[in-house]
Each structure stands twice: as structure tokens, then as C-alpha cells.
């Protein structure tokens, strides 16, 4: 979705006529102080320094296999080798080959792979060069043309379309397609450069959202974006294919799910996206989903006629994943496909002719991603959330037909960064948990039992060990992974808790919950977490993944369907109530919550709806009523306001503004074209009309991601004032050194790194 994490920023919408720019804060009018000047602010810098060395030094920087010699080479404080027969580790011989691995050792995959380029957020590239270098497709002023390039640069430009306008665009898509369907391209050359497929987008029925930019300049500028809001008309998309040699252009045909021709009035509305060619270029593949997004169809079109046929169809009672993985094998006909038909994401082997060949993976856990496909051995290596602790990632391997399936890694750890040996007999990985620092291990394939749910074997070798001495040296408590029940009293939730320095379980501490909580984003995995410097202000920090977040299966993820802001907020409240009831050091009367984007929405709606649990909230760029967000994201989870008025009202901060009792701070960028600032203004207006105190800060030049030095200071100043933490009594390095030097047999203190 577009309302993602704060780092996913760009855009710019806004508002015309901001009469209410100034914001109100009567009862608890609040100023902000730079973090460094807050009580405990100096400890934040000290703790940041103390944490910097914890957990380091345990992972290899490079992995290289030398199977002829039966060795694994790794760079960890210098090059070393692991004997794959005995498990013995020895340093490199500086007199042999310069002390590094032999030239025959295979470089790790991570050292070979690059990164994809991307256009600005929500946009598409305006130029695409043909594979043979002869042409560059250019989309400008609404039209598409082919410009000769390379050796043909002196040739004549070909104008493919001529009727483009501001509302009718060729070779470009709508912002909402770029943001919500990840459509970064709108022109697609066939592999042989004979054809170019491209979008025709009609936005004439889409309402514009107007906003101002240039707030800090002498004069503002009026800008606009075609932005469909729930229940409103969407842009109309078509796919065209142009044959370069003949100059012929065809429209990819539309048809209904039963194969009949689609009505000319467009009564059956589909999103068309994820356009790409088959490996041999004989057909154009594209995906489509109806407006409700509970059905996904992948179709293949003949580029000469535009006639389409169905390749695969998926359905869900809630919403269907819009972009399942479709990974072709070398023959260009078979492909690996992600399906959630069992309620958990798994892999199938399918054919372009529409048939299912085999089921590759199975189990009551979801696959995460494919790591390696070995066609010679007919094996797929993939990660999955299959450990008893459901937030620990594991590596699996299975044959194409699903046989010989096994978990390779140990369920005692969260495993990542896999390097599989060329003969597939060993795997190097990074292993960790919340309390165990990242370190490189080597697994022997077949070291455990076979079977989809079998536990992998213990590591064959441990190559490094991350430092954890700093916890003791600096009197820091390790972060903790915990479980609790959701608001339904049945479902397990996972969370993390981080403690202040010199943590004293006999004291009472205020809590700040850091959240996102929305579809498609998970925050909690069992990865090493030394702590957060902000706890030095006197807070315990908590993060919980509520129902509605991914990685736990379709039932868990779909629990918030048609009721965003209800189930998810209640789960956050249930987690806090559990901690307050079971941990005497948590002060259940002093609990705050904060987040950005969907996390900002969660913070606001949790404070408003669940004031019995939360006393304060800082909400960054929140959606305050789902009627204010875009069609594709919102209707995927909520349907339209006409279909689900009760759900929209139940999850609306504005509709429930009368319930606000705690202290609320709203933060928003004035040129946010993703979650428009009128979300914050609508809630502000509702609270003002009720004479209900709140705080607000607007950032004149910020879009959806607020990049301002004052952001953290504003947030933590607010929580310090609202929740009144006590500054931790954390002794200085000199005091710790004095105490330890006077103790018999004490270890020398570790320098703060």
C-alpha cells in the first residue's frame, strides 16, 4: 500500500485553502525540546555509543566454496577456511596465494548481485530502450513515440499515438497504479524488439486532488493529482501492442471470467497490471483483478491479434495477493507459482498452458521466498516461517514434485543470508535470535530428519560469535521476544520489549508502543536486537504484530478484513494489558503509542477507541478516515463505503473523536501526496468543534516521509511530558570502573565503543 513505513516516502498532494493551519492545544499545550536537552537526553547519546559494539563481529563478510578441496573460505577478521569433512577451522596461510581463498573458490551470491533501478514513488519510467538498441520508446505530453537510437539514431522518429492529452495518457499509468500495484513501467519491449506493449490510461472520470506546495517561498504553487478515493470512479486502463515493422497497433482484448466478451460499457471493472513478456516473447503476460481484488487472473495475449487466454486463476474470501511470484524455468514454459489456496502461501509448479504440474511445498506455515532453483537436481530451496516459534525464518529444500522435502536449518534460530554450496551438500547462513547476536553457521544438508515439518539439524560448524559483553559492561538488559494472546483470547501474538539502561524490575516504568500494524508489513521477527537508545529517557519500548499483519497465514492476515482499526487496535490493547498484568515493572496507567502512516493511523485510533489502555499517542501522517485514502488500497481491505458503511465508521478516528480522553499529537507533511494532510485537518476540525485538547505540528516542505531534525524531539518531548518517566540511574563509565576496580576478581571494564 501506499501508507507504508516512513522510509517509503516521496510524493506531494495537499490542500487548497488551509485556513486552519495553526493548531490548538489548550489543556496540555506543549512545547518541544531537543532530545539531547530532555531529562535523560545525555544518556541517549551514551546508550547509543554503548549499543554500537554489541552484537558485532560474528558474521562473515564473504563466503567462498572450494568443493574440490572440500573447503569453505570465509572472511571474518581475516580469511579462514573450514574443513567440510572434519569441521576444523584454520587461518589462511599468508605464504600461499596471498593468504586468501584460491581463484577456484566460488564468490558468494551476495557479491555478484546488483540492484534494480526504480522511478520516483508512484511513477513510471518515461523512456524504454529496445533490447536491440535500435529504438527508444518515449512517453511525453500524453503520447508515445519511437525514437531511433544507437546505429539508427539518424533515422526518422515514429509517432505511435497522437490523441494523448492530460487525461488520456499513452505509455504512462496513474499514480494509484504505481503506488498500490507497484507499476513502475508502462512500456514493455518484446525480447526480440519486434513489439512494444504500452498502457493507455484514461483519467477523465477521476477526481483531482488539489494541493499547495512552496509553503516556505514567497508564493505558493497549486498542484493536482488524479486521485480516486473509495467508491469513486477509477482510471480506465487498456494495454496496446504496436508492431514496429508493420506499424500496426492492436488492443489487448477484454473478456469476462466465463470467456464471454466484456461489456462495452465497462460494467465489469478490472485493474490491469504486472505486464511482461513470456521468456520467448511469443505472448504478452498480464494480471488482472476486479475492483474488490478477491480474484487474480494471469492472462497471456497474442501480440499480433490482442486475443487473450487464461493461464492461472486464484480466489480468496478476503483479498487475493496481487503479485504472487511467477518464476520461469529455463524452458520458458514451466514456472514456479505462489498460491494461498490452502490458507498458507506455498509453491506450485505450473505450465503456461494453464495446467498444474505439481505441488512443491506444503505445511501449516507460509513460504516467504525462493532462494535457489536447481533445475539439474530438480530442487527448489526456499525460506518459510515454519519453526515452532513462528517468527523464526527457516530454509527448506524440496524436489519439483514435492518429494524429499526437508527443513535444512535449525529451528533454534532465525536464519538468513544463505549461501548454498555448489554440490548442495552444505549451507552457510546467518543465525540469530532476539538475545543471541548474529553469527555465521554452516549446516550440513540432511543433518536432520526429512519431511516438510521436520526439524533441521544443529549447525555443523559455527564460524563466528557476535559480541554480547557490552550488556554486562554497560548494565544493559537484553531485549526480549514475548508472546501473548490476541483480543480473541485464542490467537498467539509475538512482540518485542526493550528496556532502559540500569533496568530495575522493582521500579515502575511507562511504556511506549511503536507500531505499524497494517497489511503487508511485519515488524516482529526473532532477530538480534541490542536495544533502543530512546529507552534511556526512562521508557520501556514495546512492538507487537497484531492480527492483520503478514507471515502467519491467511486467517491471521485476514482477521482485519472489512474492519481496519478495530481488530488490530484491540490486539495492541490486549498485548499491553497482558504485559501490565504479568510484569509488575510496567505501569499500565502510563502507556503511549506511536507510528507513522498506517502506524500513525493505529496510534490515533488506538488512543481514541481504547483510551482504557492508552494514555497518549503521537500519530505521524495518519489516515483518520478510510474514505480519505485511495481506491486500490482501501477497497482491497474494506470494500467501498457503500458496501461497508459500518466498517468505515467503526475504524474512523473522526467519527469517534468524541471518545478522545488521552493526549494526542498529530504530525503531518504539508505536501504529502500519499496520505493527504486533510486527514489530519479533518480530525483536527472534529476535535476543535468538540473543544477537545490536542497537539499538532505541520511540516511545510515534507511529503509522506517527514525528514526534519525536530521530528524525534517533538515526539519524545511529548511523551516525556505526557507519561513523566524517571531518568534512569545509570552510572557513568568512570563510576562503573571505580566500582569494578574495587571488587575482588572483577573483569576490566569494556570501553564504550
DSSP 155-198: S--EE------SSEEES---HHHHHHS----SEEE-TTSSEEEE
| Separation CA 533–CA 62 (nearest Å) | 30
| Separation CA 428–CA 107 (nearest Å) | 13
Rounded mean pLDDT of the chain? 89
Say what the pTM is: 0.90
**Residue 665 pLDDT > 60:** yes
CATH number given to 35-53+470-723: 3.40.50.1820
| pLDDT band per the 50, 70, 90 thresholds, residue 120 | confident
Give the pLDDT of residue 376.
96
User: Which of these, 363, 315, 324, 294, lies nearest to 553 by C-alpha position?
Assistant: 363
| Separation CA 648–CA 66 (nearest Å) | 59
Residue 689 grid cell: 468543534
| Separation CA 297–CA 325 (nearest Å) | 13
Give the pLDDT of residue 101.
78
| pLDDT band per the 50, 70, 90 thresholds, residue 32 | confident
**Residue 263 pLDDT > 60:** no
What's the whole-number mean pLDDT along residues 579-601?
A: 98
pLDDT tens-digit readout, 382-441: 999 999 999 999 999 999 999 999 999 999 999 999 999 999 999 999 999 999 999 999
| Separation CA 39–CA 173 (nearest Å) | 51
| pLDDT band per the 50, 70, 90 thresholds, residue 21 | very low
| 688 against 19, higher pLDDT | 688
What's the whole-number mean pLDDT along residues 44-73?
A: 93
549, 518 in Cβ contact below 8 A? yes
Residue 84 grid cell: 567440510
- Residue 200 CB contacts under 8 Å (≥ 6 apart), including other chains: 161, 168, 169, 170, 237, 238, 239, 240
Q: Where are the alpha helices (DSSP H) in 193-308?
A: none
pLDDT tens-digit readout, 198-229: 999 999 999 999 989 999 899 999 989 999 99
**Residue 17 pLDDT > 50:** no
| 263 against 377, higher pLDDT | 377
- Residue 198 CB contacts under 8 Å (≥ 6 apart), including other chains: 137, 139, 144, 160, 170, 171, 186, 187, 188, 239, 240, 241, 242
**Residue 314 pLDDT > 90:** yes
- How many helices (DSSP H) and strands (DSSP E) are in the chain? 12, 39
What's the whole-number mean pLDDT along residues 493-506?
A: 97
**Residue 267 pLDDT > 70:** no
14, 673 in Cβ contact below 8 A? yes
Continuous segment of H or E residues that includes residue 606? helix 598-609
Pairing type for strands 663-669 and 616-620 reads: parallel
Q: Count other C-beta atoms under 10 Å from residue 32's C-beta.
A: 20
- Residue 250 DSSP symbol: E
| 351 against 19, higher pLDDT | 351
Q: Where are the alpha helices (DSSP H) in 457-530?
A: 469-473
In DSSP terms, 79 is beta-bridged to 75
- Residue 643 CB contacts under 8 Å (≥ 6 apart), including other chains: none
567 in helix, strand or coil?
helix
Pairing type for strands 236-243 and 221-226 reads: unpaired
| Separation CA 128–CA 133 (nearest Å) | 10
298, 326 in Cβ contact below 8 A? yes
Continuous segment of H or E residues that includes residue 399? strand 394-399
What's the whole-number mean pLDDT along residues 241-263?
A: 82
Give the pLDDT of residue 8.
29
Give the pLDDT of residue 737.
56
Give the pLDDT of residue 14.
32
**Residue 3 pLDDT > 70:** no
| Separation CA 191–CA 326 (nearest Å) | 18
**According to the per-residue pLDDT averaged within each range, which of 38-42, 155-159, 252-256, 593-597 is highest?**
593-597
What's the whole-number mean pLDDT along residues 471-476?
A: 93
User: Which of these, 2, 180, 122, lies nearest to 632 by C-alpha position?
Assistant: 180
* Domain boundaries for CATH 3.40.50.1820 within the chain: 35-53+470-723
Q: Which of 197-206, 261-270, 284-293, 569-578 has the lowest mean pLDDT?
A: 261-270
Give the pLDDT of residue 81.
93
Q: Which of 3-17, 257-271, 385-399, 618-632 has the lowest mean pLDDT?
A: 3-17
| Separation CA 527–CA 550 (nearest Å) | 17
User: Which of these, 40, 109, 3, lies nearest to 535 by C-alpha position?
Assistant: 40
| Separation CA 474–CA 301 (nearest Å) | 64
Give the pLDDT of residue 454.
47
| Separation CA 143–CA 287 (nearest Å) | 24
pLDDT tens-digit readout, 648-660: 999 999 999 999 9
User: Which of these, 721, 444, 710, lies nearest to 592 by C-alpha position?
Assistant: 721
- Residue 297 CB contacts under 8 Å (≥ 6 apart), including other chains: 257, 287, 288, 289, 310, 312, 313, 314
Residue 152 grid cell: 539508427
Mapped to the 3 state alphabet, what secondary structure does 516-540 carry?
CCCCCCCCCCCCCCCCCHHHHHCCE
pLDDT tens-digit readout, 146-172: 999 877 667 789 999 999 999 999 999
| Separation CA 64–CA 75 (nearest Å) | 9
Give the pLDDT of residue 714.
95
Give the pLDDT of residue 428.
97
Q: Where are the alpha helices (DSSP H) in 374-477?
A: 469-473
| Separation CA 493–CA 517 (nearest Å) | 12
| Separation CA 60–CA 103 (nearest Å) | 19
pLDDT tens-digit readout, 440-469: 999 999 865 444 444 567 999 999 999 999
Scan for cell 480473541, then name that residue: 488
Taking the CA atoms of residue 412, residue 414, residue 416 and residue 421 in that order, the dihedral angle to the nearest 10 degrees is 10
Mapped to the 3 state alphabet, what secondary structure does 79-93 carry?
EEEEECCCCCEEECC
Scan for cell 529444500, then name that residue: 397
| pLDDT band per the 50, 70, 90 thresholds, residue 509 | very high
User: Which of these, 170, 165, 159, lies nearest to 126 by C-alpha position?
Assistant: 170
Give the pLDDT of residue 734.
60
| Separation CA 416–CA 388 (nearest Å) | 17
Amino acid at each position: 500500500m501506499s501508507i507504508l513505513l516512513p522510509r517509503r516516502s516521496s510524493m506531494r498532494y495537499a490542500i487548497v485553502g488551509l485556513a486552519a493551519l495553526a493548531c490548538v492545544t489548550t489543556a496540555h499545550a506543549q512545547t518541544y525540546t531537543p532530545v539531547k536537552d530532555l531529562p535523560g537526553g545525555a544518556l541517549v547519546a551514551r546508550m547509543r555509543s554503548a549499543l554500537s559494539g554489541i552484537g558485532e563481529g560474528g558474521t562473515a563478510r564473504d563466503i567462498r566454496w572450494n568443493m574440490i578441496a572440500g573447503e569453505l573460505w570465509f572472511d571474518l577478521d581475516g580469511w579462514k577456511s573450514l574443513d567440510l569433512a572434519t569441521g576444523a577451522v584454520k587461518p589462511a596461510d599468508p605464504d600461499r596465494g596471498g593468504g586468501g581463498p584460491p581463484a577456484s573458490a566460488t564468490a558468494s551470491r551476495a557479491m555478484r548481485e546488483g540492484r534494480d533501478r526504480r522511478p520516483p514513488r508512484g511513477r513510471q519510467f518515461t523512456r524504454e530502450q529496445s533490447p536491440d538498441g535500435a529504438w527508444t520508446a518515449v512517453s511525453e505530453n500524453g503520447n508515445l513515440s519511437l525514437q531511433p537510437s544507437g546505429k539508427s539514431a539518424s533515422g526518422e522518429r515514429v509517432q505511435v499515438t497522437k490523441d494523448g492529452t492530460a487525461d488520456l495518457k499513452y505509455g504512462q499509468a496513474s499514480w494509484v497504479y504505481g503506488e498500490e500495484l507497484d507499476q513502475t513501467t508502462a512500456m514493455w519491449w518484446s525480447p526480440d524488439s519486434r513489439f512494444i506493449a504500452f498502457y493507455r490510461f484514461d483519467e477523465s472520470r477521476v477526481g483531482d486532488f488539489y494541493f499547495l506546495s512552496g509553503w516556505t517561498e514567497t508564493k505558493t504553487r497549486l498542484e493536482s493529482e488524479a486521485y480516486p478515493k473509495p467508491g469513486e470512479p477509477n482510471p480506465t486502463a487498456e494495454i496496446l501492442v504496436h508492431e514496429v515493422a508493420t506499424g500496426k497497433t492492436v488492443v489487448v482484448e477484454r473478456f469476462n471470467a466465463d470467456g464471454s466478451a466484456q461489456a462495452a460499457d465497462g460494467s465489469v471493472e478490472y485493474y490491469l497490471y504486472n505486464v511482461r513478456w513470456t521468456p520467448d516473447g511469443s505472448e504478452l503476460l498480464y494480471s488482472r483483478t476486479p475492483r474488490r481484488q478477491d480474484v487474480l487472473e494471469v492472462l497471456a495475449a497474442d501480440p499480433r491479434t490482442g486475443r487473450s487466454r487464461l493461464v492461472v486463476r486464484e480466489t480468496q474470501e478476503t483479498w487475493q495477493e496481487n503479485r504472487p511470484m511467477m518464476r520461469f524455468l529455463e524452458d520458458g514454459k514451466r514456472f514456479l507459482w505462489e498460491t494461498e489456496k490452502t490458507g498458507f502461501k506455498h509453491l506450485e509448479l505450473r505450465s503456461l498452458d494453464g495446467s498444474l504440474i505439481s505441488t512443491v511445498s506444503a505445511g501449516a506455515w507460509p513460504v516467504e521466498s525462493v532462494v535457489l532453483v536447481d533445475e539439474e537436481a530438480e530442487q527448489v530451496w526456499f525460506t518459510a516461517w515454519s519453526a515452532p516459534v513462528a517468527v523464526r525464518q527457516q530454509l527448506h529444500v524440496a524436489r519439483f514434485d514435492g518429494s524429499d522435502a526437508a527443513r535444512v536449518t535449525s529451528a533454534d534460530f532465525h536464519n538468513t543470508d544463505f549461501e548454498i554450496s555448489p554440490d548442495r551438500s552444505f549451507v552457510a547462513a546467518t543465525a540469530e535470535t532476539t538475545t543471541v547476536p548474529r553469527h555465521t553457521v554452516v549446516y550440513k544438508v540432511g543433518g536432520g530428519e526429512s519431511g516438510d515439518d521436520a526439524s533441521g539439524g544443529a549447525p555443523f560448524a559455527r564460524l563466528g560469535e557476535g559480541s554480547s559483553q557490552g550488556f554486562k559492561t554497560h548494565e544493559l538488559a537484553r531485549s526480549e521476544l514475548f508472546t501473548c494472546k490476541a483480543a480473541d483470547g485464542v490467537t498467539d501474538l509475538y512482540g518485542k520489549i526493550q528496556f532502559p539502561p540500569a533496568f530495575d524490575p522493582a521500579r515502575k516504568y511507562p511504556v511506549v508502543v511503536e507500531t505499524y500494524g497494517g497489511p503487508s508489513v511485519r515488524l516482529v521477527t526473532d532477530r538480534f536486537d541490542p536495544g533502543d537508545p530512546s529507552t534511556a529517557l526512562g521508557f520501556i519500548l514495546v512492538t507487537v504484530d497484531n492480527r492483520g499483519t503478514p507471515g502467519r497465514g491467511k486467517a491471521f492476515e485476514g482477521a482485519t478484513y472489512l474492519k481496519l482499526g478495530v481488530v488490530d487496535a484491540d490486539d495492541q490493547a490486549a498485548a499491553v494489558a497482558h504485559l501490565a498484568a504479568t510484569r509488575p515493572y510496567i505501569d499500565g496507567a502510563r502507556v503511549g503509542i506511536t507510528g507513522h502512516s498506517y502506524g500513525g493511523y493505529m496510534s490515533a485510533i488506538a488512543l481514541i477507541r481504547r483510551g482504557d489502555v492508552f494514555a497518549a499517542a503521537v500519530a505521524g501522517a495518519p489516515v483518520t478516515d478510510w474514505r480519505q485514502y485511495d481506491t486500490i488500497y482501501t477497497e482491497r481491505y474494506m470494500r467501498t463505503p457503500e458496501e461497508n458503511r459500518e466498517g468505515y465508521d467503526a475504524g474512523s478516528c473522526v467519527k469517534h473523536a468524541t471518545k478522545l480522553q488521552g493526549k494526542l499529537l498529530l504530525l503531518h507533511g504539508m505536501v504529502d501526496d500519499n496520505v493527504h494532510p486533510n486527514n489530519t485537518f479533518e480530525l483536527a476540525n472534529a476535535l476543535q468543534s468538540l473543544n477537545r485538547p490536542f497537539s499538532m505540528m505541520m511540516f511545510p516542505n515534507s511529503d509522506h516521509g517527514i525528514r526534519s531534525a525536530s521530528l524525534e524531539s517533538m515526539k519524545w518531548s511529548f511523551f516525556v511530558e505526557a507519561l513523566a518517566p524517571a531518568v534512569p540511574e545509570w552510572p557513568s563509565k568512570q563510576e562503573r570502573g571505580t566500582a569494578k576496580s574495587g571488587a575482588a576478581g572483577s573483569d576490566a571494564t569494556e570501553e564504550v565503543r
